[in-house]
Amino acid sequence: SSRIIVLSIAATAVAPSRTITTSAFSPLKTHIMGATNRSAATSVSTTAVASAAKEICETTTTQDKAEVSSTASNGDNRSSLWSDVAINAAKQFTITQRQKLKDLGALDVERPVRIVGEPVIHKYDAADSKSSTSSSASNTKIIHFQRHGQGYHNLICDMWRELDRPIDFDSSDPNLNPVVRPEFLDPPLTALGMQQCRSQRDLCNGLAPELVIVSPMLRCIQTAKLSFRDFDDSAPWVSHEGCREELGLLMGNKRRPITEIREDYPEIDFSDIVHDADVLWDEYGDRRETLLEKSERIYEFLIEYVRQRPEKEIAIVCHSAYLFTLLNAVMDIEDEGLRSWFLTSEVRSLQMTFIDRSGK
């Protein structure tokens, strides 16, 4: 059957292939959001992710019950880039993960620096923040967050969902949790994942990041190289452990040695990563990093690294659970369109303001 064939591919394709990634790039270039896209396919896929994301943003929760609402019609064209299974999973994660954060008290943690996020109305907001000399502007940045495209671990999980097979992400049993299998070490993008990321290139080309930060996981590097390809020469590229997915247990979140990754991507600066081996993941053993632990790691990354960078407009390519925790438990954000679960390859831009509670 087709499912058996796909499973076989997924088990053997986790080794990175730089040649495939490079050959996936489109050679043409179009500037600024709103300009004519390179092809009708790109236009359709951009509309598709906007439609699907809108549907997820209309997922709501109340104190007494969780409810999923959607006004997107069946006629909305999401092309073939995001399956109904993947979209529904994102809706459910929006509800269940926010409830978990609430139950753990992660939504009520008060930290020394308040980090406020607001939507970027238009791209000129970034230029305005750069030109301003006010003290508040010095603590404000424009951040373009992107989730990686579909990886092979995402594909397998979606296949399990299609079969109505539950996944226990806390289990070490591969019969209950496929992502603990050793074959899923640092999984790459699928062909669909590459297509998703290419579909975001026009949108990303209308942005103006002065710095691109990537998680050291292969799927994030591949995503950035496809979506932010036009900034290869105009902005520095760095990798940082602070924006990688949750640590421990899940082999899909364990990275390769930095020496191996650097051989594939010598143009990326990995100097901020201390250990060659994945010491951070190994420290957790057979348990997953908790939501509170992840929240503190994210806060430290934003305060000690992102805030201290001189750049005012930054692209950060990372992961879904990481982003959901960041936007719901670490930052103060009212806009639900920013806080819901990311689709694979989705890009969201926000204005990030750091406010010291001490008044300093």
The rounded distance, in Å, linking the Cα atoms of 252 and 335 is 30
252: number of Cβ within 10 Å: 24
Of residues 139, 132, 154, 272, the one with CA closest to residue 214: 272
The rounded distance, in Å, linking the Cα atoms of 18 and 221 is 11
Catalytic residue among 55, 183, 210, 245: 245
Encoded tokens for 246: 């949750």
The rounded distance, in Å, linking the Cα atoms of 318 and 300 is 16
Q: Is 267 a catalytic residue?
A: no
Q: Helix crossing, 152-162 with 2-12: angle to 10°?
A: 150
Strands of the 140-147 sheet, one edge to the other = 237-239, 211-214, 313-318, 140-147, 347-356, 113-119, 332-333
Give me Rg for the CA atoms of the chain: 19
Catalytic residue among 144, 148, 153, 319: 148
Residue pair 83/49 in contact (Cβ under 8 Å)? The answer is no
Residue pair 221/319 in contact (Cβ under 8 Å)? The answer is no
b/e for 335-351, b at 16 or more Cβ within 10 A?
eeebbbbbbbbbbbbbb
Give the H or E element holding residue 313.
strand 313-318
Q: Is 245 a catalytic residue?
A: yes
Give the H or E element holding residue 140.
strand 140-147
Catalytic residue positions, numbered: 148, 245
